Amino acid sequence: MSPNPAKSPENCIYVGGSWRPAHATARLDVINPATELLIGQVVDADAVDVDTAVRAARDALKSTAWEHTTAQDRARMLHALASELTARASVMARTITCENGSPIAETSGAAPHAADFLRYTATLADSLDADVRRFPAGGATTSVRRVPAGVAALIAPWNFPLTLVMAKLAPALLAGCTVVVKPAPETPFHLAVLVEAIEAAHLPPGVVNVVTGGAGTGQLLVAHPNVDKIAFTGSTEAGRAIARECGALLRPVTLELGGKSAAVVLHDADLDVFAAQLIRSCLRNTGQTCYAATRILAPRSSYSDVLDIVIETVRSAPLGDPFDPTTVFGPLVSARQRDRVEKYIRLGTAEGARITTGGNRPSHLDIGYYVEPTVFADVDRGMRIAREEIFGPVLTVLAYSDEDEAISIANDSHYGLGGVVFSADDHRAAHFSQRLETGSVGINFFGSNQAAPFGGWKQSGLGVELGPEGLSAYVKYQSLHRRTSPVEEMEPYLSDQGPAS
């Protein structure tokens, strides 16, 4: 995969601005999910490697090349990185598709999307300047300073690997943090492309460090005494373990976790719009998308019409080689993920739901971790296939009688990440959307906006990414009070009315 194994995660960790031989001797296999062939192996970083990377990040935090930069200087670096990433869009797309099987039509957008996010984040630079606030009673002012949170550990999953690193990296860099990135073990090699772009953009050495490995490497990073902030995207189960550790350490943490979103088709929905948006909203990336609305709620009166559209749309979407630009459904990321999806398909049948299409491995593909897109009808809200995150191409279609029941079913979930409402009446859809207990809702489409917060309610997460709100997770505040009146004139305020602390 990599042209030079001596300069890649096959044998090295990226610390202090160069690939250096890892201490760990253990390696993890990286498999192409479409061919089942070994792409290569990567370092399963150990405690020494993690410590080396964190130390490099800590040193860089205090280096003159970084500590004395202004947010505006760092914004210029984000622009430079955006250009370098854009120049590598094609190799980035091919690398990600090779690693995780995402269709090339999807991964072709990865670097441009990341570049757009870098450029957007750069526009927030001025918001990091200190602002001055008067004491309400007069006599003094306070400068509110935004100080980098410190060394941030960025832990990412495999499904949109670059996007989910960038949602953390761009605000961390703008805020003045230095970072250690840990990609998922399934998708380590695309970070070598990112590292190339970082070097070409002349980011100071040690500002971005990379260690590869599995959950154990992630745990070492989370618990490392010199890490100041954790940003994690992944499963709710791992998020809960990380939250426990961060709770014990009182370490700030952002968690973007699992989901089981609903797509609610209201009585007046334009079914052509629903059909056109179905794959992107409900099965994007072969269903391996956190916000995918895999519970489709249809009015009882038009249940069979909605179901027919779902079946027809899913059946007609091309499945196969992820390098074919027309492919919509690729393989699942791993044999383990395929096992999980197949387990849920068997479970759905055992629970009494009816498979209307799919349910098997495609007969024309005997290599690759493929599963046919599967649509379950006659699904009850209590079934596990309607409650648990499957993370594959499996849809459940549920019936509701009126909007109150639709709200009750949609909100009857431990998760609260996304959701889509289909209606011809924007006002009605907006009113309905406001009753959904989720961090994001789309009307007649779903897409995340880089300028707006994205995050989960309930067990879908803690805190948000993107937008100015996402940037604020990478700063600490310091309030610097200065007298503007002689101290005796302030005395009554300071002694009697000052805020209690």
Using the contact rule CB under 6 A, the part of the chain among 22-30, 254-262, 468-476, 477-485 near ligand NAD is: 254-262
Q: Does 393 bind ligand NAD (CB under 6 A)?
A: no
Comparison of 159 and 178: residue with beta carbon closer to ligand NAD: 159
Using the contact rule CB under 6 A, the part of the chain among 108-116, 136-144, 210-218, 405-413 near ligand NAD is: 210-218
Identify how many contiguous H helices and E strands the chain contains and give both numbers: 18, 22
Rounded to the nearest whole angstrom, what is the least distance from the CB of residue 120 to ligand NAD in the complex? 17
The gap between the terminal CA atoms of the chain, to the nearest Å, is 58
Q: Does 390 bind ligand NAD (CB under 6 A)?
A: no
Comparison of 299 and 419: residue with beta carbon closer to ligand NAD: 419
Number of residues that bind ligand NAD (CB under 6 A): 30
Rounded to the nearest whole angstrom, what is the least distance from the CB of residue 93 to ligand NAD in the complex? 18
Q: Say how far apart CA 340 and CA 174 lie, in whole Å.
A: 39
| 200, 241, 347, 355: which one binds ligand NAD (CB under 6 A) | 241
Comparison of 192 and 429: residue with beta carbon closer to ligand NAD: 192
In the complex, residue closest to ligand NAD by CB: 218
Q: Say how far apart CA 215 and CA 143 lie, in whole Å.
A: 41
| Residues in region 444-473 near ligand NAD by CB under 6 A | 456, 461
Q: What is the phi/psi pair of residue 456, to 5°?
A: -105, 150
Q: Does 113 bind ligand NAD (CB under 6 A)?
A: no
Q: Does 296 bind ligand NAD (CB under 6 A)?
A: no
Q: Say how far apart CA 399 and CA 379 lie, in whole Å.
A: 8
Q: Does 219 bind ligand NAD (CB under 6 A)?
A: yes
Comparison of 131 and 237: residue with beta carbon closer to ligand NAD: 237
Q: Say how far apart CA 345 and CA 348 lie, in whole Å.
A: 5
β-pair partners for 265: 422
| 11, 32, 108, 233: which one binds ligand NAD (CB under 6 A) | 233
Q: Give the distance between the most distant pair of CA atoms in the chain.
A: 86
Q: Does 115 bind ligand NAD (CB under 6 A)?
A: no
Q: Does 258 bind ligand NAD (CB under 6 A)?
A: yes
Burial of 248 (0-12, 13-18, 19+ CB in 10 A): exposed
Q: Does 206 bind ligand NAD (CB under 6 A)?
A: no
Comparison of 128 and 222: residue with beta carbon closer to ligand NAD: 222
393 in Cβ contact with 286 (< 8 Å): yes
Rounded to the nearest whole angstrom, what is the least distance from the CB of residue 256 to ligand NAD in the complex? 3
Comparison of 206 and 259: residue with beta carbon closer to ligand NAD: 259
Q: Say how far apart CA 458 and CA 429 lie, in whole Å.
A: 23
Given the residues 12, 98, 282, 290, the one annotated as active site: 290
Q: Does 389 bind ligand NAD (CB under 6 A)?
A: yes
Q: Where are the alpha helices (DSSP H) in 393-472?
A: 403-411, 426-433, 467-471
Q: Where are the alpha helices (DSSP H) in 215-302?
A: 215-223, 236-249, 271-282
| 17, 103, 206, 234: which one binds ligand NAD (CB under 6 A) | 234
Rounded to the nearest whole angstrom, what is the least distance from the CB of residue 21 to ligand NAD in the complex? 22
Q: Does 218 bind ligand NAD (CB under 6 A)?
A: yes
Comparison of 108 and 448: residue with beta carbon closer to ligand NAD: 448
Of 358, 432, 447, whose CA–CA distance to 395 is shortest? Answer: 358
Comparison of 362 and 463: residue with beta carbon closer to ligand NAD: 463
| Residues in region 150-189 near ligand NAD by CB under 6 A | 155-159, 164, 182, 184-185
| 204, 214, 362, 468: which one binds ligand NAD (CB under 6 A) | 214
DSSP secondary structure letters along 175-191: HT-EEEEE--TTS-THH
Q: From the centroid of its chain, how far is CA 101?
A: 17
Of 19, 15, 17, 39, whose CA–CA distance to 29 is shortest? Answer: 39
Half-sphere exposure at residue 449, Cβ-oriented, CA atoms within 13 angstroms: 11
Given the residues 99, 256, 342, 389, the one annotated as active site: 256
> Does the active-site annotation cover 256?
yes
Rounded to the nearest whole angstrom, what is the least distance from the CB of residue 151 to ligand NAD in the complex? 16
Q: Does 33 bind ligand NAD (CB under 6 A)?
A: no
Q: Say how far apart CA 314 and CA 311 lie, in whole Å.
A: 5
Burial of 491 (0-12, 13-18, 19+ CB in 10 A): exposed
Q: Does 215 bind ligand NAD (CB under 6 A)?
A: yes
Comparison of 253 and 379: residue with beta carbon closer to ligand NAD: 253
Three-state SS for 331? coil
Print the SS3 string covering 77-92. Answer: HHHHHHHHHHHCHHHH
Three-state SS for 21? strand
| 61, 111, 207, 242: which one binds ligand NAD (CB under 6 A) | 242
Q: Say how far apart CA 396 and CA 289 lie, in whole Å.
A: 15
Rounded to the nearest whole angstrom, what is the least distance from the CB of residue 230 to ligand NAD in the complex? 8
β-pair partners for 58: none
Q: CA dist 107 to 35, 118, 316, 387, Å?
A: 18, 17, 21, 29
Q: Does 235 bind ligand NAD (CB under 6 A)?
A: yes
Active-site residues, by number, are 256, 290
Residues making contact with ligand NAD (CB under 6 A): 155-159, 164, 182, 184-185, 214-215, 218-219, 222, 233-235, 238, 241-242, 256-259, 290, 389, 391, 417, 456, 461
